[in-house]
Amino acid sequence: MRTRTALAIGWITCVALVSAQNPERRPRPLPSNLPETNPFTSATDLEIGRKLYQGRCGHCHGQSGEGGRGAVLNAGNFRRGGSDRELFVTIRNGIPNTEMPGAFNLPDIEIWRVVGYVQQLARQGTAERSAGDAVAGAMVYQKNGCATCHRIDAAGGFIGPDLTDIGAKRALRYLRESIVDPSADIPLDYRLVSVTDRRGRNVSGIHLNEDEYSIHLRDIDGNLRSFMKTELTGITLPRQSLMPAYASLPPVDVENLVAYLSSLRPARRP
């Protein structure tokens, strides 16, 4: 079972800025007098914030905050806190070990304007509700052996992404697409790689690391494998998920499974 959890990879960011010399992605110290409430909430500020959001945020979080690869923002629930100040910190610094980068080079006033627009999205309260049955979805999860590859809390495998918090990270439509067409968008930390050595032996697994001379993968048994490229006759990176597509799963099972995955949310962390 594949869904879209991915660890942060510095050079592939959703919203990162790069600039004239070369990119710098490092949190700036927060202002010592950072206010608790947004000082920039006029209609003009919100309109500027909307445009900033559209350019920087919408392609992951959805142009209306409906979510996608990024978390749903139009439901009013924010894992990292929904106060103006908390949103400011999240947007400015990003979230470590996730795909959410910081807006490291965005002026503070523009971050406040984005905060204002995100709060406006949150007030819509239009988050999609799953029509499925989460309890039944848990059975679907069990029956189809999803735990062979995926982990929820301490139980499950390691081949696929950890799903412990997945409901808070991904929109319903994204979860749905991940089930029926997992190759539609593959997290970079879960890319399939296949290598062939000089004897014609094939080894496939999850791409872990690569440089000009060597490549490293985790095979489906969990073995960490390392190859010098001079020992190989072929390396392929299929744009295909290691997870089988569950397109033939009955729609009701898909919806129940989506409901179950969507219910997997952590208690709010400090």
> Which residues of this chain interact with another protein, rule CB under 8 A?
6, 11-24, 26, 48, 51-52, 54-56, 58-60, 63, 69, 99, 105-110, 185, 188, 210-213, 237, 239
Tokens of 164: 């412990």
CB nearer to another protein: pick between 14 and 220: 14
Contacts by residues 128-132 (CB-CB < 8 Å, ≥ 24 positions apart): 128/66, 128/72, 128/171, 128/172, 128/173, 130/172, 130/255, 130/258, 130/259, 130/262, 131/255, 131/259, 132/252, 132/254, 132/255, 132/256, 132/257, 132/258, 132/259, 132/260
Pairing of strands 151-152, 155-156: antiparallel
The residues, ordered by sequence, that sit 6+ positions from 180 with a Cβ below 8 Å of its Cβ are 245, 246, 247, 249, 254
CB nearer to another protein: pick between 34 and 188: 188
Q: How far apart are CA 83 and CA 36, in angstroms?
A: 8
CB nearer to another protein: pick between 209 and 223: 209
Residue 167: CB minimum distance to another protein, A: 20
Residue 43: CB minimum distance to another protein, A: 14
Residue 259: CB minimum distance to another protein, A: 26
CB nearer to another protein: pick between 56 and 176: 56
CB nearer to another protein: pick between 16 and 175: 16
Residue 2: CB minimum distance to another protein, A: 15
Residue 148: CB minimum distance to another protein, A: 26
